[in-house]
Structure 1
């Protein structure tokens, strides 16, 4: 990486000096986890390369990204088109270091297009001889084609830091030969702003007996597929369309009915309020349908990343009496407050995390378990009646995960020293 490389501001044309860092990820999707990760990674980079380091964040959703990221002379937002190959090549050429910052990096659970974007950025950096680091990322389910692509292209990465040991093992099994290291997710070191203290109480002052959070995911939407055309209601951003079929719609309807029944049981049996949590914008329609299907609507609210930023959502999560989650980052961001939790999982991320926390299999349920809703209701009752049941396990897990997360910055700093020039060096 070059030190004090003279270049030009992408908008004003004014000259500046300093290393240039490109952050390639799922930026601007109103996703609380991605937002928390991005802000933490920006802090990590500035702590290592100084406050004048030039950082560029590419995005398909510029308007959303500007909700929580303030552009200035050192931080740049770069809109890119849906067909991203040439845009990524150009951005890589303009920068000195490429970081892959999306947690769900090496998996095609959501869509192959995201995976290909990250692999293309790696390929472009390798071709242009720019250092490339995958920063605290995960690995999960992959098709045969994508396993082959990951083996070929991810091996060109200069360093891959995985956020679990399980992810590192998956990449090794695939045959990735890049240097590998495992730590924990960046979001473990993310903290809400002081102004957002007691945020849940501020937005829901009527609560008197505590809140149980249900962080839901519409599994039926995924994966997003690439098509030249399709139904308008299924369009995410051309040419990407949500998956739809009669079977998928039946799955969604079962989710709505199951979650609605669980929410009503929590309210009636435990006298708690229920927050239906949308950790990503795409979770909100499912949460709203669940609310419509409930009997006790007055004791329930939808709390969504469409309305609130990562600081506010994290503060809200920390005030819950119990979290039931299908979202990885709601589990991560609530851990600092030692909120008891149960997972309803649908991909390897929560499975790996619960294994690390030693909550698997006792507090982990798969979304297609035949007795899902009965078992979930039982576990909810157990934890609400025994509020300290998980306390020691969560405390131990928190200490371990925070310590591992703090190593991300250290490992990146060592990489920069070995592969370039840190500020203050000749």
Structure 2
């Protein structure tokens, strides 16, 4: 393994209190990003003490303030949509740069997010600031983005990937920065009790969770103008077409059919789980198509913080998920689950859990829902088989995740 590259120079902030910039998908009402951010703040304070000065840039300050409050040593800094100059200035004024978004080196969601991380890395290299990518993923990349990742990510002092495949992907595109392999830092996230979250459901039925994603919104594209309903935040717009609308409705009806089947055949209540508030549109469509609406409820990251959402996930009888962190946050309780994947993250996770391909299905598989039905029946008939796989998989993932703090401390202390 390559050694950690040291920055050519490092000058700490006044009073020897380091200034750490956390660059990620902050302030998006996204349970995964929220759980990661809160865990990472704890990790940094463990490594450097409570006096460390943290700065969290965000495109949406109000959403971020839902779960992170400004403190003496913690600042929230709004970023403009065209972020290059502002982000460059922030990098210049900090001692350490941490890339904390899990979906770091991929363009599945939007190239604009990837470019923000690469730009922060480039600026850190320019200003000779130590730069670390902390427990991140690599995935699908266009030819242009492969070139950019090779060029800019190689300037990192250290990249910690949360799985083995991501390290392979980075090396395959030519990244030369030192790479360490651990697991997701959200595996250490502490959950809230379930009290009051699902109290209206009948206690005589179990609870099945469906973490849905509208695959047909992505990728977000950069354009000067578009319809307001498709705007993520100017100038970024969701992909949209009549064909995508039809596919979205078909997806919603398919989820609704599975939900009704779980109610009628397996006597479950249904939790429609929105790990990001962007998932609400699809969840409401699913609910509208269900015949057993009284047995279903939408649970959104807009209303539940990451702690309460984790409590919900950990108390399910079965989980069908298209969200990576729904799987991660339920692992400690071995919640039987299957995944319907759109990008590489769930596929890679299930490979490491030794649940691929039996429990993982591609969203565009022509036999998808027949396979889902068969697997749901199999799991609910004999959940112990799946739970044994999950128990072994969690132990491996958790033990690897414990390495994150020591690597982070070594990096932060080594920059001095």
Write out per-residue CA displacement over residues 257-294 of structure 1, whole angstroms, 9 at most, x where no aligned residue: 10010000000001100111000010011001100011
1:108–1:141 CA contact under 8 A, matched in 2:
yes
Q: Indicate whether 1:5 and 2:1 are aligned.
A: no
Specify the alignment match of 2:311 in structure 1.
315
Give 1:246 shift.
2.1
Specify the alignment match of 1:361 in structure 2.
357
Write out per-residue CA displacement over residues 44-100 of structure 1, whole angstroms, 9 at most, x where no aligned residue: 000010001000000001000000001111111000100000110111111100000
Write out per-residue CA displacement over residues 279-323 of structure 1, whole angstroms, 9 at most, x where no aligned residue: 001001100110001100000011110111000000000000000
Write out per-residue CA displacement over residues 185-225 of structure 1, whole angstroms, 9 at most, x where no aligned residue: 01011111xxx312465544534321000000000000000
Specify the alignment match of 2:273 in structure 1.
277
Q: Indicate whether 1:28 and 2:27 are aligned.
A: yes
Write out per-residue CA displacement over residues 117-158 of structure 1, whole angstroms, 9 at most, x where no aligned residue: 000000000000000000000000011111110010000011
1:372-391 pair list within 5 angstroms? 372-391=368-387
- Matching residue within 299, 303, 310 for 2:299: 303
In structure 1, how many angstroms separate the alpha carbons of the residues matched to 2:243 and 2:101?
30
In structure 1, how many angstroms separate the alpha carbons of the residues matched to 2:153 and 2:81?
22
Specify the alignment match of 1:347 in structure 2.
343
In structure 1, how many angstroms separate the alpha carbons of the residues matched to 2:199 and 2:164?
38
Unaligned ranges ≥5, structure 2: 1-8
Specify the alignment match of 2:207 in structure 1.
211
Specify the alignment match of 2:159 in structure 1.
160
1:404-415 pair list within 5 angstroms? 404-415=400-411
1:199–1:312 CA contact under 8 A, matched in 2:
no
Specify the alignment match of 1:74 in structure 2.
73
Matched residue pairs, number? 408
Question: SS of the residue aligned with 2:213?
Answer: coil
In structure 2, how many angstroms separate the alpha carbons of the residues matched to 1:200 and 1:344?
29
CA RMSD, Structure 1 to Structure 2 (Å)? 1.3
1:200–1:315 CA contact under 8 A, matched in 2:
no
Q: Normalising to structure 2: TM-score of the pair?
A: 0.96
1:23-422 pair list within 5 angstroms? 23-192=22-191, 196-199=192-195, 203-420=199-416
In structure 2, how many angstroms separate the alpha carbons of the residues matched to 1:413 and 1:204?
45
1:2–1:19 CA contact under 8 A, matched in 2:
no
Give 1:374 shift.
1.2
Question: SS of the residue aligned with 2:340?
Answer: strand
Q: Normalising to structure 1: TM-score of the pair?
A: 0.94
Query: For residues 407 and 419 of structure 1, do their structure 2 counterparts lie closer, same or farther at Cα, with a shift above 3 Å needed?
Result: same
In structure 1, how many angstroms separate the alpha carbons of the residues matched to 2:222 and 2:296?
36
In structure 1, how many angstroms separate the alpha carbons of the residues matched to 2:196 and 2:267?
18
In structure 1, how many angstroms separate the alpha carbons of the residues matched to 2:233 and 2:172?
34
Unaligned ranges ≥5, structure 1: 7-15, 421-426
